[in-house]
Structure 1
Amino acid sequence: MKKQRRVFSPEDRLAIIQEGQREGTTVTCRKYNLAPSLYGKWKNKYLSGGVEGLKPSYHRIDPELRALEEENERLKRIIAKQALEIEVKSELLKKSPIQPRIKR
Protein backbone atom coordinates (compact mmCIF):
# COMPACT_ATOMS: atom_id res chain seq x y z
CA MET A 1 0.00 0.00 0.00
CA LYS A 2 1.42 3.35 -1.05
CA LYS A 3 1.77 6.06 1.54
CA GLN A 4 -0.20 9.18 0.69
CA ARG A 5 1.70 12.44 0.75
CA ARG A 6 0.36 14.91 3.27
CA VAL A 7 0.21 18.61 2.56
CA PHE A 8 0.53 21.10 5.39
CA SER A 9 -0.60 24.69 4.98
CA PRO A 10 1.67 27.48 6.27
CA GLU A 11 -0.73 27.93 9.21
CA ASP A 12 -0.48 24.22 10.07
CA ARG A 13 3.29 24.39 9.91
CA LEU A 14 3.35 27.41 12.19
CA ALA A 15 1.07 25.68 14.70
CA ILE A 16 3.29 22.58 14.68
CA ILE A 17 6.42 24.69 15.21
CA GLN A 18 4.82 26.54 18.12
CA GLU A 19 3.63 23.28 19.63
CA GLY A 20 7.12 21.88 19.24
CA GLN A 21 8.56 24.82 21.15
CA ARG A 22 6.03 24.32 23.98
CA GLU A 23 5.99 20.51 24.27
CA GLY A 24 9.30 19.51 22.73
CA THR A 25 10.42 18.59 19.26
CA THR A 26 10.46 14.82 19.74
CA VAL A 27 6.95 14.62 21.19
CA THR A 28 5.51 16.86 18.48
CA CYS A 29 7.24 14.97 15.64
CA ARG A 30 5.87 11.67 16.97
CA LYS A 31 2.39 13.13 17.39
CA TYR A 32 2.22 14.34 13.76
CA ASN A 33 4.41 11.52 12.37
CA LEU A 34 7.00 13.98 11.05
CA ALA A 35 10.69 13.47 10.51
CA PRO A 36 12.75 15.66 12.86
CA SER A 37 14.71 16.90 9.85
CA LEU A 38 11.50 18.20 8.24
CA TYR A 39 10.54 19.93 11.48
CA GLY A 40 14.01 21.50 11.55
CA LYS A 41 13.65 22.76 7.96
CA TRP A 42 10.29 24.32 8.78
CA LYS A 43 11.70 25.93 11.90
CA ASN A 44 14.69 27.37 10.02
CA LYS A 45 12.43 28.74 7.29
CA TYR A 46 10.18 30.31 9.94
CA LEU A 47 13.13 31.87 11.78
CA SER A 48 14.63 33.29 8.58
CA GLY A 49 11.47 34.42 6.77
CA GLY A 50 8.63 34.41 9.26
CA VAL A 51 5.24 33.10 8.14
CA GLU A 52 6.13 33.98 4.51
CA GLY A 53 9.06 31.55 4.74
CA LEU A 54 6.66 28.69 5.44
CA LYS A 55 4.77 29.17 2.19
CA PRO A 56 5.61 26.83 -0.69
CA SER A 57 8.56 28.06 -2.72
CA TYR A 58 7.54 26.63 -6.11
CA HIS A 59 5.95 28.86 -8.70
CA ARG A 60 3.16 27.75 -10.98
CA ILE A 61 3.38 28.86 -14.58
CA ASP A 62 0.42 30.84 -15.83
CA PRO A 63 -1.58 28.70 -18.33
CA GLU A 64 -1.77 31.63 -20.75
CA LEU A 65 2.02 32.02 -20.63
CA ARG A 66 2.46 28.28 -21.17
CA ALA A 67 0.15 28.40 -24.23
CA LEU A 68 2.15 31.30 -25.68
CA GLU A 69 5.42 29.43 -25.12
CA GLU A 70 4.03 26.34 -26.86
CA GLU A 71 2.84 28.44 -29.80
CA ASN A 72 6.26 30.10 -29.97
CA GLU A 73 7.96 26.69 -30.13
CA ARG A 74 5.55 25.53 -32.84
CA LEU A 75 6.24 28.62 -34.94
CA LYS A 76 10.00 28.17 -34.50
CA ARG A 77 9.70 24.60 -35.82
CA ILE A 78 7.71 25.83 -38.83
CA ILE A 79 10.33 28.48 -39.61
CA ALA A 80 13.15 25.96 -39.24
CA LYS A 81 11.39 23.58 -41.62
CA GLN A 82 10.86 26.33 -44.20
CA ALA A 83 14.48 27.46 -43.91
CA LEU A 84 15.62 23.89 -44.52
CA GLU A 85 13.38 23.59 -47.59
CA ILE A 86 14.74 26.85 -49.01
CA GLU A 87 18.31 25.69 -48.43
CA VAL A 88 17.68 22.34 -50.14
CA LYS A 89 16.02 24.04 -53.12
CA SER A 90 18.84 26.52 -53.51
CA GLU A 91 21.40 23.68 -53.41
CA LEU A 92 19.45 21.81 -56.08
CA LEU A 93 19.34 24.92 -58.27
CA LYS A 94 23.09 25.36 -57.94
CA LYS A 95 23.73 21.77 -59.01
CA SER A 96 21.36 21.63 -61.97
CA PRO A 97 23.00 22.88 -65.17
CA ILE A 98 21.36 25.68 -67.04
CA GLN A 99 20.11 24.50 -70.42
CA PRO A 100 20.91 26.88 -73.26
CA ARG A 101 17.93 28.12 -75.18
CA ILE A 102 17.71 27.03 -78.74
CA LYS A 103 16.63 29.77 -81.15
CA ARG A 104 14.32 28.74 -83.93
Structure 2
Amino acid sequence: MTKKKNTESIVKDIKRKTRRKFSAEEKIRIVLEGLKGEESASGICRREGIAPALYYRWSRDFLEAGKKRLMGDTMREANTSEVKELRGENSELKETVAELLLQNRVLKKSTNGLG
Protein backbone atom coordinates (compact mmCIF):
# COMPACT_ATOMS: atom_id res chain seq x y z
CA MET A 1 0.00 0.00 0.00
CA THR A 2 2.78 2.48 0.86
CA LYS A 3 4.64 1.60 -2.33
CA LYS A 4 1.54 2.53 -4.37
CA LYS A 5 1.16 5.88 -2.55
CA ASN A 6 4.83 6.59 -3.00
CA THR A 7 4.60 5.82 -6.72
CA GLU A 8 1.50 8.01 -7.09
CA SER A 9 3.18 10.92 -5.35
CA ILE A 10 6.23 10.57 -7.59
CA VAL A 11 4.01 10.60 -10.69
CA LYS A 12 2.14 13.67 -9.39
CA ASP A 13 5.42 15.47 -8.73
CA ILE A 14 6.66 14.69 -12.23
CA LYS A 15 3.38 15.91 -13.77
CA ARG A 16 3.48 19.06 -11.68
CA LYS A 17 7.07 19.84 -12.65
CA THR A 18 6.57 19.11 -16.35
CA ARG A 19 3.22 20.88 -16.66
CA ARG A 20 3.20 23.25 -19.59
CA LYS A 21 2.85 26.90 -18.67
CA PHE A 22 1.03 29.17 -21.11
CA SER A 23 1.83 32.85 -21.37
CA ALA A 24 -0.95 35.41 -21.48
CA GLU A 25 -0.29 35.90 -25.21
CA GLU A 26 -0.65 32.17 -25.87
CA LYS A 27 -3.89 32.00 -23.94
CA ILE A 28 -5.30 34.98 -25.85
CA ARG A 29 -4.26 33.45 -29.17
CA ILE A 30 -5.96 30.15 -28.32
CA VAL A 31 -9.16 31.83 -27.11
CA LEU A 32 -9.33 34.08 -30.18
CA GLU A 33 -8.93 31.06 -32.45
CA GLY A 34 -11.91 29.51 -30.72
CA LEU A 35 -13.95 32.69 -31.01
CA LYS A 36 -13.29 32.86 -34.76
CA GLY A 37 -15.24 29.63 -35.11
CA GLU A 38 -13.10 28.30 -37.96
CA GLU A 39 -12.16 25.25 -35.89
CA SER A 40 -14.05 23.47 -33.13
CA ALA A 41 -13.04 24.08 -29.53
CA SER A 42 -12.28 20.38 -29.10
CA GLY A 43 -10.00 20.50 -32.16
CA ILE A 44 -8.13 23.47 -30.78
CA CYS A 45 -7.80 21.76 -27.40
CA ARG A 46 -6.42 18.59 -28.99
CA ARG A 47 -3.94 20.53 -31.10
CA GLU A 48 -2.75 22.65 -28.15
CA GLY A 49 -2.76 19.75 -25.69
CA ILE A 50 -5.13 21.32 -23.18
CA ALA A 51 -8.32 20.10 -21.54
CA PRO A 52 -11.59 21.57 -22.85
CA ALA A 53 -12.43 22.76 -19.32
CA LEU A 54 -9.23 24.80 -19.29
CA TYR A 55 -10.04 26.33 -22.69
CA TYR A 56 -13.53 27.30 -21.53
CA ARG A 57 -12.17 28.80 -18.31
CA TRP A 58 -9.71 30.92 -20.31
CA SER A 59 -12.49 31.94 -22.66
CA ARG A 60 -14.79 32.96 -19.79
CA ASP A 61 -11.98 34.88 -18.06
CA PHE A 62 -11.08 36.61 -21.33
CA LEU A 63 -14.66 37.74 -21.97
CA GLU A 64 -15.20 38.83 -18.36
CA ALA A 65 -12.01 40.90 -18.40
CA GLY A 66 -13.12 42.57 -21.63
CA LYS A 67 -16.55 43.29 -20.19
CA LYS A 68 -15.07 44.83 -17.03
CA ARG A 69 -12.68 46.94 -19.09
CA LEU A 70 -15.44 48.25 -21.31
CA MET A 71 -17.64 49.08 -18.32
CA GLY A 72 -14.71 50.89 -16.70
CA ASP A 73 -14.13 52.95 -19.83
CA THR A 74 -17.73 54.19 -19.90
CA MET A 75 -17.86 55.07 -16.20
CA ARG A 76 -15.13 57.60 -15.58
CA GLU A 77 -14.07 57.91 -11.98
CA ALA A 78 -14.07 61.43 -10.58
CA ASN A 79 -11.12 60.80 -8.27
CA THR A 80 -8.49 60.14 -10.91
CA SER A 81 -5.45 62.40 -10.97
CA GLU A 82 -6.31 63.66 -14.46
CA VAL A 83 -9.73 64.86 -13.34
CA LYS A 84 -8.25 66.50 -10.22
CA GLU A 85 -5.68 68.26 -12.38
CA LEU A 86 -8.37 69.53 -14.75
CA ARG A 87 -10.48 70.78 -11.84
CA GLY A 88 -7.49 72.72 -10.49
CA GLU A 89 -6.79 74.22 -13.90
CA ASN A 90 -10.47 75.15 -14.22
CA SER A 91 -10.39 76.95 -10.85
CA GLU A 92 -7.27 78.89 -11.86
CA LEU A 93 -8.88 79.95 -15.13
CA LYS A 94 -12.04 81.12 -13.31
CA GLU A 95 -9.94 83.20 -10.92
CA THR A 96 -8.04 84.73 -13.85
CA VAL A 97 -11.29 85.64 -15.62
CA ALA A 98 -12.67 87.17 -12.42
CA GLU A 99 -9.50 89.28 -11.96
CA LEU A 100 -9.64 90.47 -15.60
CA LEU A 101 -13.30 91.41 -15.26
CA LEU A 102 -12.54 93.39 -12.11
CA GLN A 103 -9.63 95.19 -13.80
CA ASN A 104 -11.84 95.90 -16.80
CA ARG A 105 -14.52 97.50 -14.60
CA VAL A 106 -11.94 99.59 -12.78
CA LEU A 107 -10.54 100.84 -16.11
CA LYS A 108 -14.02 101.66 -17.44
CA LYS A 109 -14.85 103.66 -14.31
CA SER A 110 -11.56 105.52 -14.46
CA THR A 111 -12.02 106.40 -18.17
CA ASN A 112 -15.61 107.52 -17.55
CA GLY A 113 -14.41 109.86 -14.84
CA LEU A 114 -11.85 111.50 -17.15
CA GLY A 115 -14.24 112.47 -19.89
Q: TM-score range by the shorter chain?
A: 0.3 to 0.5
Q: Relative to total residues, which structure has the larger helix share, 1 or 2?
A: 2
Compare relative contact order (CA 8 Å, sep 6+) and give the higher one, 1 or 2: 1
- TM-score by length of structure 1 reads 0.44
- TM-score by length of structure 2 reads 0.40
